[in-house]
Structure 1
Amino acid sequence: MTVKRLNVLLLDQGRQSLPFLKALNKAGHRVTIVCNTKICEGFFSRYPVKRIIWPSYFKDRSGFEEKLFSYLKKFQPDITIAVGDITAEILSRNKKRIEQYTSVTVPEYDIFEKVTDKLLLMQYCMRENIPCPLTYDLNEKSISSMGSKLTFPVIIKPRKGIGAIGVQKIESHEELTESYKDLKDKYGEMLIQEYIPQEGGMQYQAEAFLDNESCMKACVVLKKPRFFPVTGGTSTANETIFEDEIVKTCRNLLEGLKWKGAADVDMILNPETGIIQVLEINPRVTAGIKIAFKAGVDFAELHLKLAMEQPIEYINNYKSGIYSRNLFMDILWYLFSNQKMKRETSPSFYKFFGRNVTYQTISVDDPLTGIGFFLNMSRKYLNIRNLMEKLGQN
């Protein structure tokens, strides 16, 4: 870690911020965290030196950006870090303006757009022979020909979006025709994609980091055995593994795109072909990035070295078998999963303790963050309407 004591502005309040707060604090840096509410993990953490409340970038992006530009101009922190999709997009889109006042760890916006537009990314993968599902633009002209290009069921999703929002499994051409307009009006431009069965197809993700020359310096591979909703959504449990083929795919993909900084590559094993295919890239660390820290890869240090233009050594010696859980959502998985899922999941749902077991928001040395997460998730999930919607998806 660099010796100089730095002032760091961290723009996200969620669980991915927690290992950054701890690592930066332990290294002697001063971290200010931005929250949109006091009821969140980051606000409850003991590690930031200051907590500030700004408008939510989900509900009032212009208000958030106004606060950001005003703060940067006045205080000029050494480094500003984004660990969320929207904040990373804001920093990339405004990179030249922002770098007058602070250093950032995001690529230029033309590169950023190629990754976050899911259609452009899949088209790149298909051109470069990087394994991915067959994917096409979906519009009024192309919709009639999709029956000849893809076999139903298919997946349709927004070209730009966060997580599983707007992702739909469509069983027939008739359903596609009936659903398309409403989905486009709600979520914007859509793409259509080959459906990869999740039954027998383990999902993976790779937490990668690239230096200023777009050379991949770290790639922590995870398998994702459980989700909520149980048919596919946010992963509730992860485990570090070694998988050379995933590392090779990520290197070819990210270095070819000239990416810089952190990238979370989501992948799935196609049970029909035995090939692990790229699904999407998130332009930041995953919400469960604590598992990488536990495995021995300090992503906070990587961000600082990139921002300060220091050399970054290649990291290939992380620990496998680290098991990380989002306990709140893992309990929801348990409540809505069937007996076969409970019996076959690995690592076991009942593995609560051990040297290699960690929790995304529960920490002995930062105990209040679990309360902040529970309160935040309770607002999101524990109401009848949301639970019924989740149940309906299962």
Structure 2
Amino acid sequence: MTAAQRLRGILAGSAGNLLEYYDWYVYSSFAIYFAHVFFPHGNQTAELLNAAAVFAVGFFMRPVGGWLLGVAADKYGRRTALTLSVTGMCLGSLAIAVCPTYEQVGLLAPTILVLARLAQGLSLGGEYGASATYLAEMSSPEHRGFWSGFLYVTLVMGQLLALLILLLMQYVLLTPQQIGAWGWRIPFFLGALGALLVFWLRRQMQESERFEKTRTRQEKGGVLALLHYPRAVLTVCGMTLGGTVIFYTYTIYMQKYLVNTVGFPKDTATLISSACLLFFAAIQPAFGALSDRVGRRPLLLFFGIGATLGTVPLLTTLSGVTSPWAAFALISTALFIASGYTSINAVVKAELFPTRIRALGVAFPYAVTVSVFGGTTEYVALWCRQMGHESWFAWYVSACAAVTLFTVLTLRKTDEIGGT
């Protein structure tokens, strides 16, 4: 495979990853405007809690998606699994875009919303494993960390794109009342249309050479085949636990935290979140390239120690700030620490499994852990606030990071991808 073919494959996979995560995260970005549409009216925290619950429910399908699409990726190819993934995401976005309100159809409204998020959860459950595997296998060994960083670049850019559309609507196109009444549907329509383009791009992708070499030697037994790799599976779970909770705390939940706890206006919170995400995306390849020079372990230790010891003081200080610049600095500091994990976690996990079971090995344990811990991060945070003990959440996040730190301390030196 030529360098040009390799680059085209990575870019095509990355573009699809961006649109998939845009479709997933636009829900969270616009929840502050549409939470009242699908549920009985209550106070703002209660409505956001209901919306967060649906966000968490979508995560319960991610292990199913990780299993189904992981098996498909290992049996039929990474390209096939990635194409199926974007199709399900498109259908979910379209369903939310046209969903009637609670006042119009009662409980049918949140039911449709839940079903749409379940479909998107299934799609995204397989997206990570197939994307991480494809990216790792298409990259040259000496630059694998650098290209691995682009997985979270596209992931974050998908979230940032959702926020930028929100900013455009807030400051240029619509009033807050219009966004809350009907404008929130626009980004879901855009996501469905964008997914159609991604479908075409992924149909043109070239299959991984490593997959082609082992096409006839796939593991039998589906998820049960992972029982042959218990240490690798537990390593993926342990690494993911702290990483996903930290990521969802400082990206997905932070916009609501800035409004609901710190007291910033919605548009200011959106600006701060957008600026932080742009900074976060920009530093991912740099961290990945650093790992190609110094190894993966030092970066993972930097994350584990920094997140375990720094979360409580960071969130405690953030809760009392009044300056948007101070909020930006604190959140960016947290995301800088998080980059020790996010920039290289995909390639580290891919390096744990042989090619014939790599997509399933990465996708399924990752999806299970994200479903249980990442998908409930926002709900746990809002629940702690509603119970009057918001400080508990910071300690919870710190404890999750400590699990990842312990996992990294027991991590063996990984081999370069290339085995079968």
Q: TM-score, normalised by structure 1?
A: 0.29
Calculate the TM-score normalised by the size of structure 2.
0.27
Q: Which has the higher strand share?
A: 1
Q: Which structure has more RCO (C-alpha within 8 Å, separation ≥ 6)? A: 2
